[in-house]
């Protein structure tokens, strides 16, 4: 996924679940990809939040130098179409950590698209994505991991879980692994589920009203994607929880 220059079509693998009408409407206005270089041994945090604007595309190109680390937290909850793209090169000894949440209802189309380029050995990456979808929303995660022939001893993980609150909602999870090295660990898992009805009844039997019960379960589900900062819920997690309120 080099960030597309010409208007994408359905034939472009990385855009297969996109709302192309919405993409076309904003294509001219999309900002240039934001470039971030994390120097050797340094670490950085990046936050990407899409929660306003009818259609939004945000692209981030990160280069991790040797032993560098980046923690990306992102939320896709734009009212119409929202897409977060992260393209990252990981040098040896570096670590890429990504936590993402997709929260959508109505006709929203939301996606997080990543490409992790492990071009050097002894590096790690970990991506956790949680989607909660209601109405007729579509939430997609496309995660490509390329591991070059010389990039031995890579540990690259992806955990993608989606929760559908209505029958009309759709979740897509597409891991794509291209591995040319032989000594690598690549764990990836994707699940799609609904709210646990047994748990909902258990909670109701204790007196929890249905909205509070749902809120507790969805908060716990989405919280997997985020880590607390200094013992406090991070700003992006707060925003994700606020977006969930509309779905209760």
206 lies in the binding site for another protein (CB under 8 A): yes
197 lies in the binding site for another protein (CB under 8 A): yes
We find the least distance from the C-beta atom of residue 214 to another protein, in angstroms, to be: 12
Select from 72-80, 107-115, 160-168, 197-205 the region that touches another protein (CB under 8 A). 197-205
Alpha-carbon torsion angle 14, 105, 240, 77, nearest 10: 40
Buried b (16+ CB within 10 A) or exposed e, 61-75: bbbbbebbbbbbbbb
208 lies in the binding site for another protein (CB under 8 A): yes
199 lies in the binding site for another protein (CB under 8 A): yes
Query: Whole-angstrom Cα distance, residue 68 to residue 86?
Result: 17
204 lies in the binding site for another protein (CB under 8 A): yes
Query: Whole-angstrom Cα distance, residue 46 to residue 191?
Result: 26
Nearer to another protein, 36 or 223 (CB): 223
Nearer to another protein, 216 or 246 (CB): 216
Question: Kindly report the CA angle at 218 between 16 and 224, in degrees rounded to 5?
Answer: 75
We find the least distance from the C-beta atom of residue 226 to another protein, in angstroms, to be: 12
CB 236 within 8 A of CB 76: no
Q: Is 120 left (phi over 0), alpha (psi -120 to 50) or beta?
A: beta
Residue 90 bridge partners (DSSP): 64, 118
180 lies in the binding site for another protein (CB under 8 A): no
189 lies in the binding site for another protein (CB under 8 A): no
Both tokens of 2, joined, read: 């080099």
Select from 6-14, 55-63, 162-170, 213-221 the region that touches another protein (CB under 8 A). 213-221
36 lies in the binding site for another protein (CB under 8 A): no
165 lies in the binding site for another protein (CB under 8 A): no
198 lies in the binding site for another protein (CB under 8 A): yes
207 lies in the binding site for another protein (CB under 8 A): yes
CB 244 within 8 A of CB 216: no
39 lies in the binding site for another protein (CB under 8 A): no
Q: Count Cα neighbours of 223 within 13 Å in the Cβ-side half-sphere.
A: 10
Contacts with another protein by CB under 8 A: the residue count is 23
Which stretches of the chain bind another protein, using CB under 8 A? 196-199, 201-210, 212-213, 216-217, 219-221, 223-224
């Amino acid at each position: 996924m080099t960030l597309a220059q010409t208007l994408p079509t359905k034939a472009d693998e990385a855009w297969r679940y996109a709302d192309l009408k919405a993409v076309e409407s904003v294509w001219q206005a999309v900002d240039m990809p934001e470039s971030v270089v994390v120097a050797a041994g340094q670490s950085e945090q990046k936050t990407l939040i899409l929660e306003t604007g009818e259609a939004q595309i945000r692209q981030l190109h990160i280069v991790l130098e040797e032993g560098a680390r980046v923690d990306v937290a992102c939320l896709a909850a734009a009212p119409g179409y929202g897409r977060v793209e992260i393209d990252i090169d990981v040098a040896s000894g570096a670590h890429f950590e990504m936590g993402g949440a997709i929260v959508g209802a109505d006709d929203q189309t939301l996606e997080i698209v990543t490409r992790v380029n492990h071009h050097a050995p002894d590096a790690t990456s970990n991506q956790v994505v949680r989607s909660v979808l209601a109405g007729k929303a579509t939430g997609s995660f496309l995660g490509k991991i390329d591991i070059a022939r010389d990039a031995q001893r890579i540990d690259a993980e992806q955990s993608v879980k989606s929760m559908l609150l209505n029958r009309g909602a759709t979740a897509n999870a597409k891991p794509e692994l291209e591995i040319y090295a032989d000594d690598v660990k690549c764990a990836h898992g994707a699940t799609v589920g609904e709210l646990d009805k047994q748990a909902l009844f258990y909670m109701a039997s204790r007196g929890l009203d249905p909205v509070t019960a749902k809120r507790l379960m969805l908060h716990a589900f989405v919280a997997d994607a985020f880590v607390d900062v200094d013992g406090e819920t991070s700003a992006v997690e707060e925003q994700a929880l606020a977006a969930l309120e509309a779905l209760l």
